[in-house]
């Protein structure tokens, strides 16, 4: 938290929380498919709320509940599919405030394929794409508009030896160069990182 003037140096109580979580991890079809499911419930007393100038205030009780499912599958040799979806419902129960950094919906989907180069080359080429969705959410409890929903896409192309010892890859982060508000300070939006290109090399000993 930040204080711009002495009058904003206000004390606040520590948060106290009870968290309940249950889930299951499963694998089937000869371990070619895995499904993980998790549900949670969170009760917080003396929850802290943050305004547009990052000043913290006591906001009473907060409740958050939701769940997540993760799926990974290898339907055919070399092809990997992943997906996830999450839901959460987070609310202050004793104050008319908005919960921060709590998008109601999140989701992701990815695909990668290992393609063997000509026989005896001992190398594989692996293209991959991952897309991530996040619904609108608030960055402060009051005093600023909410952040809109977003979809970000990452992609990569790697070449590796079939024994996995050597890997060389080119990656693109935020390939569509989308501008997404991640936070706010004094009402000024702070954006995510722009499109970036990475080259990675790895040797396993």
Using an 8 Å Cβ cutoff, are 185 and 165 in contact?
Answer: no
Specify the CATH number of the domain 18-203: 2.40.170.20
pLDDT of 9? 64
Tell me how far apart the alpha carbons of residues 127 and 116 are, in angstroms, rounded to a whole number. 12
Token pair for 177: 């160069």
* pLDDT tens digits in sequence order for the chain, 205 residues long: 555 555 556 677 788 999 999 999 999 999 999 999 999 999 999 887 777 666 777 778 899 999 999 999 999 999 999 999 999 999 988 878 888 889 999 999 999 999 998 877 789 999 999 999 999 998 887 767 788 999 999 999 999 998 889 999 999 999 999 999 998 877 788 899 999 999 999 998 8
Domain-wise residue ranges, the chain: 18-203
Q: Give the pLDDT of residue 162.
A: 86
What is the per-residue pLDDT for 81?
98
């Amino acid at each position: 938290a930040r204080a711009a003037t002495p009058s904003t140096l206000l004390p606040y109580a520590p948060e106290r929380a009870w968290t309940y979580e249950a889930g299951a991890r499963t694998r089937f079809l000869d371990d070619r498919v895995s499904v993980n499911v998790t549900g949670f419930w969170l009760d917080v007393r003396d929850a802290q709320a943050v305004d547009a100038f990052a000043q913290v205030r006591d906001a009473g009780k907060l409740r958050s509940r939701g769940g997540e499912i993760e799926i990974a599958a290898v339907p055919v040799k070399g092809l990997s599919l992943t997906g996830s979806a999450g839901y959460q419902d987070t609310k202050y129960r004793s104050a008319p405030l908005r919960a921060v950094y709590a998008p109601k919906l999140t989701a992701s989907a990815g695909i990668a394929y290992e393609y063997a180069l000509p026989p005896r080359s001992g190398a594989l080429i692996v293209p991959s794409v991952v897309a991530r969705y996040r619904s609108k959410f608030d960055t402060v409890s009051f005093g600023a508009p909410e952040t809109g929903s977003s979809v970000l896409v990452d992609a990569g192309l790697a070449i590796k030896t079939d024994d996995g010892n050597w890997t060389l890859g080119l990656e693109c982060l935020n390939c569509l160069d989308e501008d997404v508000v991640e936070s706010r300070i004094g009402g000024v939006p702070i954006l995510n990182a722009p499109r970036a290109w990475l080259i990675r090399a790895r040797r396993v000993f």
